[in-house]
Amino acid sequence: MADNSKLGFATRSIHAGAEPDPATGARSVPITQATAFVFKDADHAAALFSLEESGFIYSRLTNPTVSVFQERVASLEGGVGATCTASGHSAQLLALFALMEPGDDFVASNKLYGGSITQFGHTFKKFGWKVIFVDPIDPENFRKAVTPNTKAMFTESLANPGGVVCDIEKIAEIAHEAGVPLIVDNTLPSPALCRPFEFGADIVVHSTTKFISGHGNAMGGAVIDSGNFDWAQNDKFKGLAGSCGAYHGLNFHEKFGPMAFTMYGHAVGLRDLGPTMSPMNAYLSLTGAETLSLRMKKHADNALEVAKWLTTHSQVEWVSYAGLTDSPFYELARKYCPDGAGAVFTFGVKGGYKAGVKIVERCELFSHLANIGDTRSLITHPSSTTHRQLSEQQQISAGAGPEVVRLSIGLEDVEDIISDLDQALRA
C-alpha cells in the first residue's frame, strides 16, 4: 500500500507505512530491536553512507520500526516525510537546527507550553539563537518582529495550556512574505482534528508522547515536512540549499527536492545530535495511532461537556475552551478544528494559587501529573509545575496564572469525570 494518499484518515492511521512482514508474514509491525544492519557489500555500504541509496545503517539514523512510524505520521499530517525523535522537545530542536546559524533569530508565539518558552528563551541561547516572543492573537505581531536574521516563525495550533487558537493561515502568509517557513506544533489537536499544512504551514512538530501515542506509555517526537517550501528562494538556508561540508559539498535541496528537509533531519540532525526514537516507543506509538481518530472524537466530546459544566460551577471564575460558543477563539476553532477543539483546556478557580493546588490534590479519578494526551483524565496546576520556571508575568501571558488549573480530559464516562471535579471543587 505504497500510495495511500487517496485513503481516508482512519484507514491511513491503521495502514500507512506498514505491510505484512516479508520474512514472517506478521501483520503487526515487528519491533526491530537492532543497533546496526548488515551491508550487502562494500559498494552498498558506500552508497548508503553517501546518501546515494536509501536503507538501514545504524538505528541512530534509521530503523525499520521507526521508519514505519515516520511514514504514518507524515501521511496523517499530509506531509512528504518525517523525522521521529526521542521527545517533543528534541523534535523542536531538530526542526530549528536545519534552519538556524549562530546570530539568527526566530519569531515565536508567547502562548506556548512553559517548557518550550524555557527551551527557546534560555537553552537555545547556547547555540547563539535568539527568540522573539510575540502575542499571536494579533498575527501582525509576527510581521512587526521580523528582522534580517529571522529564519522561521513558530506557533502552536492550540496553545498549551491556555487553549488559544492561532490564525495559522494569516501567520503563514506573513512568514512567506518574509521568506521563512512557519513551524506549527500540532500536538494538542493532533492531525485528527487539525492539519496545519492545509492552511499554509510548512513544518509540523509533535510530541507524539501525547495524543498520537495516546496511552501515556511511550516518549517520542516528530518533525513533518510539507515539501512545499522552496529552500533556494533566498540565501537564508545554506544548510539546505548550499554546500554541506559533511557530505563533500552535497546540496540537499538540489539532490532531494521536496525531501531535502527530511533528509537533512536524518543525515545531519539525527547523526550529529542523536535524539533518536527507540524502536519500542515507535511500536507503541504505532499501536496508539491506529485508534487516533476514534480517541480524539471522544476526547473532544468529553472535554466540551466538562467545559460546559464548569461554566456553571460556583467555585469557577472562568473557563478557557475554544469549543465554547462564547470563547473568543470559537470561530477560529471552527475553521482549524471543525471536529472538536481538543481535550486540553484551563479554568480559573476562586481562591487563586492555594485553591488551585488543593483541587489537584483532592481529585481521585484525575491523575495529578505533568503530561497530557493520555486515555486517562489528567490534572495539573501549571504555575507550580509545567510553568514554574517562568516569571509571574510570563505565566500570565502564557495562560498559566496562579489561579489556573489545566485539564486533559480522558476517555472515561463523562459523568464520572464531572463527579470527580465536583467533589474536589466542593471540598
CATH number at residue 344: 3.90.1150.10
Query: Do 23 and 137 share a structural domain?
Result: yes
Assigned domain for 1 exists? no
d(CA 113, CA 60): 28
Classify the phi-psi angles of 9: left when phi > 0, otherwise alpha if psi is within -120 to 50, otherwise beta: alpha
- Look at residue 85 in the predicted model and tell me its pLDDT: 98
Asked whether residue 2 is assigned to any structural domain, the reply reads no
Last residue of a domain, one of 288, 320, 355: 288
Closest CA to 367 of 423, 415, 307, 410: 410
In this prediction, residue 141 has a pLDDT band, given cuts at 50, 70 and 90, of very high
Residues 312 and 268 in one domain: no
Whether 118 is in a domain gets the answer yes
pLDDT at position 320 over 70: yes
Q: 305 and 252, same structural domain?
A: no
- Other CB atoms closer than 10 Å to residue 354's CB: what's the count? 11
Alpha helix (H) ranges present in 178-251?
Answer: 190-193, 238-241
Q: Give the mean model confidence (pLDDT) for residues 139-145.
A: 98
Q: How many CA atoms lie within 13 A of 306 on its CB side?
A: 34
- If asked whether residues 271 and 301 sit together in one domain, one would say no
Q: If pLDDT is split at 50, 70 and 90, which confidence band does 387 have? A: low
**Where does a domain end: 231, 254, 288?**
288
Q: What is the CATH number of the domain that holds 111?
A: 3.40.640.10
Residue 4 forms part of a structural domain: no
Q: How many other β-carbons are positioned within 10 Å of the β-carbon of residue 215?
A: 15
86 plus 158 within the same structural domain: yes
Give the pLDDT confidence score for residue 288 in this predicted structure.
Answer: 97
Same domain, 182 and 121: yes
Would you say 397 and 110 are in contact if contact means Cβ atoms under 8 Å apart?
yes
Task: Give the range of the structural domain holding residue 246, as residue numbers without chain letter.
Answer: 9-288
How much is the pLDDT for 238?
Answer: 95
The dihedral formed by the CA atoms of 50, 52, 54 and 60, expressed in degrees to the nearest 10? 10
Which residue, 415, 421, 317, is CA-closest to 378?
421
Mean pLDDT of 381-404: 77
| Bridge partners, 316 (sequence order) | 349
Residue 303 is which amino acid? A
What is d(CA 204, CA 224) in angstroms, rounded to the nearest whole number? 5
Cell of 327: 470563547
Cα–Cα distance measured from residue 61 to residue 292, given in angstroms and rounded to the nearest whole number: 27
Which one of 236, 265, 288 terminates a domain? 288
Q: Is the peptide bond before 64 cis (omega within 30 degrees of 0)?
A: no
End-to-end, the C-alpha distance of the chain in Å comes to 55
Between 426 and 103, the higher pLDDT residue: 103
Q: How many CA atoms lie within 13 A of 41 on its CB side?
A: 1
Torsion of the alpha carbons at 412, 416, 421 and 425, rounded to the nearest 10: -170
Distance CA 282, CA 72 (A): 11
Answer whether 0.85 is exceeded by the pTM: yes
Q: Which DSSP string corresponds to 28-63?
A: SPP----SB---SSHHHHHHHHTTSS---SBTTT--
pLDDT at 423 over 60: yes
Pair 199, 83 in one domain? yes
How confident is the model at residue 3, as a pLDDT? 60
- Report the pLDDT value the prediction gives residue 204, as an integer from 0 to 100: 98
Q: What's the rounded mean pLDDT across residues 208-235?
A: 97
Whether 318 has a pLDDT exceeding 70, the answer reads: yes
Q: At how many degrees (to 10) do helices 292-310 and 414-426 cross?
A: 40
Q: How many CA atoms lie within 13 A of 307 on its CB side?
A: 27
> Same domain for 165 and 223?
yes
Same domain? 66 vs 193? yes
Helix (H/G/I), strand (E/B), else coil: 206 = strand
Give pLDDT tens digits for 5-32: 689 999 999 999 999 998 899 999 999 9
- Burial of residue 207, with CB atoms counted within 10 A of its CB: 0-12 exposed, 13-18 middle, 19 or more buried: buried
Separation between Cα atoms, residue 373 and residue 291, nearest integer Å: 13
Q: Do 15 and 1 contact (CB within 8 A), yes or no?
A: yes
55 lies in a domain? yes
Strand order from edge to edge, sheet including 316-320: 316-320, 344-349, 404-408, 378-380, 367-368
Sheet holding 130-134, edge to edge: 81-85, 221-225, 203-206, 182-185, 150-156, 105-109, 130-134
Same domain, 59 and 204: yes
pLDDT value at 1 more than 60:
no
- In this structure, is residue 3 part of a structural domain? no
pLDDT value, residue 352: 82
Average pLDDT, the chain: 94
Domain count, the chain: 2
User: Is residue 44 in some structural domain?
Assistant: yes
Cα 4 to Cα 13, 178, 304, 411, distances in angstroms: 10, 34, 32, 29
From CA 207, how far away is CA 189, in angstroms rounded?
11
CA 184, CA 166: separation in Å to the nearest integer?
10
The three three-digit cell numbers of residue 110, written as one number: 508567547
Q: Within this chain, do residues 276 and 313 fall inside the same structural domain, yes or no?
A: no
Residues 331 and 377 both lie in one domain: yes
- For 245, phi then psi, to 5°, come to -65, -25
